[in-house]
Amino acid sequence: MRKTAFIQTVILLMGLCISSLSDSKTDNPELRIATPWPAQNTIIMMLGYGEQIVGTSVIAKKIPLFRQMLPNIDNVPVISISNQLNPEQIISLRTQLLFVAKGMDVPQRDLLASAGVKVVEYPANSLQALQARVQATATELGPDAEKKALEYQRYFDRNIALVSERLSGLTETEKRTVYHSMGNALFTSGRPSLNQDWMDLAGAKNVAETWFSDKKNNSGEVLLEAIITANPDVIVAMNKEDAEMIMSSSQWRALDAVKNQQVYVNPKGMFWWCRETSEEALQFLWLAQILYPERFADIDMKQETADFYLKFFAISLSDEQIDKILHP
């Protein structure tokens, strides 16, 4: 009872400071945004509202390029501990928009709403959901963000068309097999999933495609024996440490990907390209170029990377920065 009374007192004291959002678009430079969703921070940044983030995630605060683009992130509090949101903290930050992934537990929604906090939920784990989230987020932020979101979608569509045209005529037998590790070397995902979607676009055969048909999120840990049996042509590791372990371990040595030096660390800029970030528009282009270099001989991923971050994040990357993104 005491905690509830305290929160209600906070709301009363802040009532004059917190403006409720209507259903209409906003172009408010004073908008106060919070999200515990790490990759959503990147989308907000791309749409021009990074400075309005008042509550964030631990991961977003630790990524070097994100920190460079938003130096004051050091002063932005983390609003989710062990995937648990604190309504009292969110209200105290005078949050107006709270972006969360669909399915996340948001306690005391009525209390948040009475304090002027609009909770916006988006589905995840697919390319379609990602593209829709960029557009929907822009709608919440305002006309300036909507303009940027449309430019982004045109770029995304351009890359889809480019890769599809280059892979035209590629037969099933010609497709290269890929294993993608995420979180740790033995954690991966199958169909349907975001990872499956970008592998499909890149003309890859996901060796784990059918491994998780009985699991809700179509992902999980697997036995090394299953990977050895699948014997992928290429391994893409989300983390550098996993890639190094895979390349040096005697247990993984029998794999063709290891024998042929075809183990890659996934690019990472504002966030990991392979995850729920707007940088996903580069992920399938990067992988397609890795898998079928002869079909993408004229594609310079360094230049593509430089152009993307300049266009959508207004940052001119140095050669060293580009190298760190492509080879984290």
Task: Indicate whether 187 and 64 sit together in one domain.
Answer: no
- Among the candidates 145, 169, 194, a domain finishes at 145
pLDDT digits (tens, 9 = 90+) for 14-49: 443 333 333 334 466 689 999 999 999 999 999 999
51's CB contacts (< 8 A; 6+ apart) are 70, 72
Looking at the structure, do residues 169 and 120 belong to the same domain, yes or no? no
Q: Are residues 159 and 141 located together in one domain of the fold?
A: no
Residues 176 and 313 in one domain: yes
- Whether residue 69 contacts residue 316, with contact meaning beta carbons closer than 8 Å, is answered with no
CA-nearest of 238, 127, 261 to 179 is 238
Task: Please say which residue of 103, 122, 145 terminates a domain.
Answer: 145
Averaged pLDDT for residues 260-268: 98
Residues 180 and 46 in one domain: no
Indicate whether 100 pLDDT > 50: yes
Using CA atoms, how far apart are residues 196 and 209, in angstroms rounded to an integer?
Answer: 7
Look up the domain containing 266 and give its range: 154-326
- Residues 86, 221 within the same domain: no
- Looking at the structure, tell me whether residues 41 and 179 fall in a common domain: no
Average pLDDT, the chain: 92
Domain boundary among 145, 164, 186: 145
Q: Which percentage of the chain shows pLDDT scores above 70?
A: 91
User: What's the pLDDT score for residue 27?
Assistant: 63
Task: Give yes or no for residue 98 having a pLDDT over 50.
Answer: yes
Indicate if 210 and 316 belong to the same structural domain: yes
pLDDT score, position 246: 98
* CA dist., res. 274 & res. 110, Å (int): 35
What pLDDT sits at residue 15? 40
Q: What CATH number did the domain enclosing 106 receive?
A: 3.40.50.1980
187 pLDDT exceeds 90? yes
* Contact between residue 140 and residue 119 where contact means Cβ atoms under 8 Å apart: no
Q: How many domains does the chain have?
A: 2
Q: What percent of the chain has pLDDT over 90?
A: 88
| One domain, residues 11 and 134 | yes
Confidence of residue 180 (pLDDT cuts 50, 70, 90): very high
Residues 190-242 pLDDT 10s: 999 999 999 999 999 999 999 998 887 899 999 999 999 999 999 999 999 99
**Are the CB atoms for 43 and 133 separated by under 8 Å?**
yes
Co-location of 193 and 217 in the same domain = yes
Please indicate, yes or no, whether residues 314 and 192 belong to a single structural domain of this protein. Answer: yes
Give every CB contact of residue 1 below 8 A, 6+ residues apart in sequence.
none
**Which residues make beta-bridge pairs with 80?**
85
- Based on the domain organization, do 138 and 167 belong to the same domain? no
